[in-house]
Structure 1
Amino acid sequence: MTSVPSPGRRATGPAKGVRLFELDVLRFVAAFAVMSFHYLAASKSLWNEYPTTLFAPVDHLTTLGILGVELFFLISGFVILMSAWGRTVGEFAVSRVSRLYPAYWFAVIVIFIMYRFSGVTSFDPKLTTGEYALNLTLFQGAFDVGHAGAVFWSLWVELRFYLLVAVFALFGITLWRCLAFMGAWFALALLAEYTQNDALVFLFQPRQAPYFIAGMAFYLIHRFGPRAAGLLSWLFVAGGYAMGVYAALERVAERVRLVGAKHYPAPPPAVIAAITVIFLLMAAVALGWLRWLRWRRLMVVGALTYPLYLLHQTVSAVLIPTYRDALDPWLLAAITMTVSIALAYLVYRVVDRPGQRWLRARLSALLPSSRRRGGRGSGRSAPPRRPVPAQSREASVP
């Protein structure tokens, strides 16, 4: 049986300062897939007819763009474990809050202003001012309040994953504890799916858990090496894949039932193939097969993904209904995508990046002084801290 390293065993992997540009690429691929899904396959209200009819030559691809979110969850499992390893809960919370909220706050405010003070109607969440204010917390899902942006549901899923990892981090993250945590979560997710108990489903998210867990397993393989990570890590990948295929088939089937296979051609074999490709790409990252991606501009491509994910539907709500009768649909879709990417880059430079720095500095000041000086300050022994790739500390959300 493949040996598993002790918590103190030196991890293998990239040296300090090495950025995983391949994750930046995959993050953008996921966001572009979701954007293509919304523009070219999903939003009948934008075009006044089924977009798969307008864009029939690519409908078998764009309908699968819905699974870009599943790729985001896999990446998140990988990066969040990497981010939490060797950190206190406070440090982890600071990293997540500062990464998640600045661009999100901006998006909520833009959406509020747009629907209150313009004639835009597409995707209007029809929220009260108080409900928009609650959206600023990102906890609106806990109070059964609608999301200001349709894509925000996945951030609520991510946030609950962060909370689970924060609780786990209280005990100190080691390889063995990580495997135990993943095993317990997997079992509870299966139980939640089988029983459909509301509390279990809320806590353990059975339709999303397999991607997070498999992503964590991929990180262990990346950190410790494919042999040293142990057979259990690969079993979690296999289990996550099997359960992930089931979850993806169910999610796509709901969409097909809603509009019909004629207007949403996404047959089960295509869904299985898409999930297989997603897992193979993450395996390639974990095994280092994509390390040849070293173009530094890819870092910016990855960084603008989050504001692109947050705002692309808002851009389409303005542009497509306004110009759909005047422009060729292919040209209009291309223009809308270009504007969305340009706006995302602008938001990244003007709002997201400086906002993260500002918020991180102020939240870090609230941590115990011993932590800010680099001491442990926790009174417990912690696993040795391995140098972590530069991007891992902050970049995890879309």
Structure 2
Amino acid sequence: MRQPARQSDPASPAPDAVPARGAAAAAKGRRLVELDVLRFVAAFAVMAFHFMAASKSLWDEYPTKLFEPVARLTTLGILGVELFFLISGFVILMSVWGHTVGEFAVSRVSRLYPAYWFAVLVIFIMYRFSGVAGFDPKLEDGEYLLNLTMLQGAFGVGHAGGVFWSLWVELRFYVLVALFSLVGITLRRCLVFLAAWFGLALLAEFTQNEALIFVFMPRQAPYFIAGMAFFLIHRFGVRSGALVPWLLVAAGYGMSLHAAMERVGERVRLVGIARYPAPPEAVVVAITVVYLLMAAVALGWLRWVRWRRLVTLGALTYPLYLLHQTVSAVVIPAYRDVIDPWALAAITMAVSIGIAYLIYRMVDKPGQRWLRARLGALLDRSRRSRPRGRGGTSRTATAIPAQSPEASVP
């Protein structure tokens, strides 16, 4: 059964008010459990990459030699971050559609910062007051304080955690989306915005202009753009203007192949193909699989994934992503000489997942609730203090969207 798509803006041009497919869960409010699964898959891939392919310092030898039977898979785990970016494009457009910039900002800040603040604090304490040396960022106290803002990348300060670089990329993406939302989000405007961003990202890549690279992020933009296009396909289905989102997906896919081969190629050039067996054809296969998975979400082919316990996997993904390297820096060097590498890698993964679950239950979830309530109250007070309109009433506050693990990346 087909149902009409929700319009986010009553003043939207008529072409934007196209019918959504019955499968367009974003328009109907059904939680996309499949995205929770994909987020955990992405986090697990990154964890496997760090534990079993990338970190020579953990094992005192190249881990691809220790885990040679799976090395061709674990080396590609680096691209789990790219899957995160694709998912982020999808869900951030979904979360901002029909909401104000203030509501979007409150939802993002309350989603990202509680677990992140805890992670920075843990990392600071560990490297200040223990003998752990692996992945030590070697930051001054003031630099740790700056890390609490998540803006350290803007000041040339190192990240407290090795994976925090991707959060700096996410923040810049959020700023672009927030600025775009000021003009009012409609289907037509989305298509124009995505096409313009893609063109500017190409320009940045070809010119290597630092300012253009900083703003338009050519190595990450194709994933965000394709993810947003996938959401448009998911929401509006195969009707009006459907070809344009698919063209954007195709363009993003092509540029993603270039970006991924460059990123993986840097690793290969650094240590050699024998120690990092990730040839270009393997990268092509990995990126293709990632795009096919997102296409399956967009087309509703994964709607059968409904088991509610999978939501918890998505919920613990963020703290797992933030702190799995920190856990490995403690566990693996301490036991690598007495426990079989395969068993130790499995134990470290299990410990990381268990700690991530505890952080989600005891820090992340209550922290989100607390911060959202206070930031939401500030936003409401700001609205009430604005001058009243000609009708004698101020703008009615729109509810800030409740946070869900599918509404953020990682």
TM-score by length of 1: 0.93
Amino acid at match of 2:97: W
Q: 1:36 aligns with which of 25, 48, 68?
A: 48
Aligned equivalents of 2:216, 2:225: Cα separation in 1: 11
Q: State the SS of the aligned residue for 1:122.
A: coil
Amino acid at match of 1:11: A
Amino acid at match of 2:278: A
Residue 384 (structure 1) aligns with: none
Aligned equivalents of 1:316, 1:393: Cα separation in 2: 24
Q: 2:81 aligns with which of 66, 69, 72?
A: 69
Post-superposition offset of 1:158: 0.5
Q: State the SS of the aligned residue for 1:304.
A: helix
Cα deviations across residues 71-125 of structure 1 (Å, max 9, x unaligned)?
Answer: 0000000000000000000000000000010000000000000000000000000
Contact 2:261 2:280 in 1 (8 A): yes
Q: 2:359 aligns with which of 344, 347, 350?
A: 347
Q: 1:102 aligns with which of 106, 114, 122?
A: 114
1:259 aligns with 2:271: yes
Aligned equivalents of 2:97, 2:404: Cα separation in 1: 10
1:254/1:81 CA distance change after superposition, 3 Å: same
Q: 2:16 aligns with which of 3, 7, 14?
A: 7
Aligned equivalents of 1:182, 1:57: Cα separation in 2: 41
Gaps (5+ residues) in structure 1?
380-387
Q: 2:192 aligns with which of 138, 157, 180?
A: 180
After TM superposition, where is structure 1 displaced by more than 6 Å over at least 4 residues in a row? 388-394
Contact 1:77 1:211 in 2 (8 A): yes
Residue 222 (structure 2) aligns with: 210
Amino acid at match of 1:46: L
Residue 10 (structure 2) aligns with: none
Aligned equivalents of 1:394, 1:64: Cα separation in 2: 23
Amino acid at match of 1:199: A
1:7/1:234 CA distance change after superposition, 3 Å: same
Q: State the SS of the aligned residue for 1:263.
A: coil
Residue 45 (structure 1) aligns with: 57
Task: Tell me which moved more, 335-344 or 228-237.
Answer: 228-237
Q: State the SS of the aligned residue for 2:15.
A: coil
Aligned equivalents of 1:17, 1:227: Cα separation in 2: 20
**Overall identity of the aligned pairs, in %:** 77
Amino acid at match of 1:282: M
Contact 2:19 2:239 in 1 (8 A): no
Residue 5 (structure 2) aligns with: none
Contact 1:19 1:390 in 2 (8 A): no
Cα deviations across residues 315-341 of structure 1 (Å, max 9, x unaligned)?
Answer: 000000000001000000000000000
Alignment root-mean-square deviation, CA:
2.1
Post-superposition offset of 1:50: 0.0
How many residue pairs match? The answer is 384
1:210/1:223 CA distance change after superposition, 3 Å: same
1:80 aligns with 2:92: yes
Contact 1:96 1:394 in 2 (8 A): no
Q: State the SS of the aligned residue for 2:370.
A: helix
Aligned equivalents of 1:313, 1:229: Cα separation in 2: 44
1:17/1:187 CA distance change after superposition, 3 Å: closer
Residue 295 (structure 2) aligns with: 283
Q: State the SS of the aligned residue for 2:379.
A: coil
Aligned equivalents of 2:203, 2:138: Cα separation in 1: 36
Residue 117 (structure 1) aligns with: 129
Q: 1:274 aligns with which of 267, 271, 286?
A: 286
Q: 1:162 aligns with which of 164, 174, 196?
A: 174
Aligned equivalents of 1:145, 1:389: Cα separation in 2: 33
1:56/1:389 CA distance change after superposition, 3 Å: farther
Residue 395 (structure 2) aligns with: none
Contact 1:221 1:229 in 2 (8 A): no
Residue 134 (structure 1) aligns with: 146
Residue 383 (structure 1) aligns with: none
Amino acid at match of 1:6: P
Post-superposition offset of 1:20: 0.3
Contact 2:315 2:405 in 1 (8 A): no
TM-score by length of 2: 0.90
Q: State the SS of the aligned residue for 2:20.
A: coil
Post-superposition offset of 1:394: 6.3
Contact 2:95 2:401 in 1 (8 A): no
Amino acid at match of 2:165: W
Residue 165 (structure 2) aligns with: 153
1:298 aligns with 2:310: yes
Gaps (5+ residues) in structure 2?
1-12, 392-399
Residue 236 (structure 1) aligns with: 248
Contact 1:52 1:263 in 2 (8 A): yes
Contact 1:77 1:215 in 2 (8 A): yes
1:315 aligns with 2:327: yes
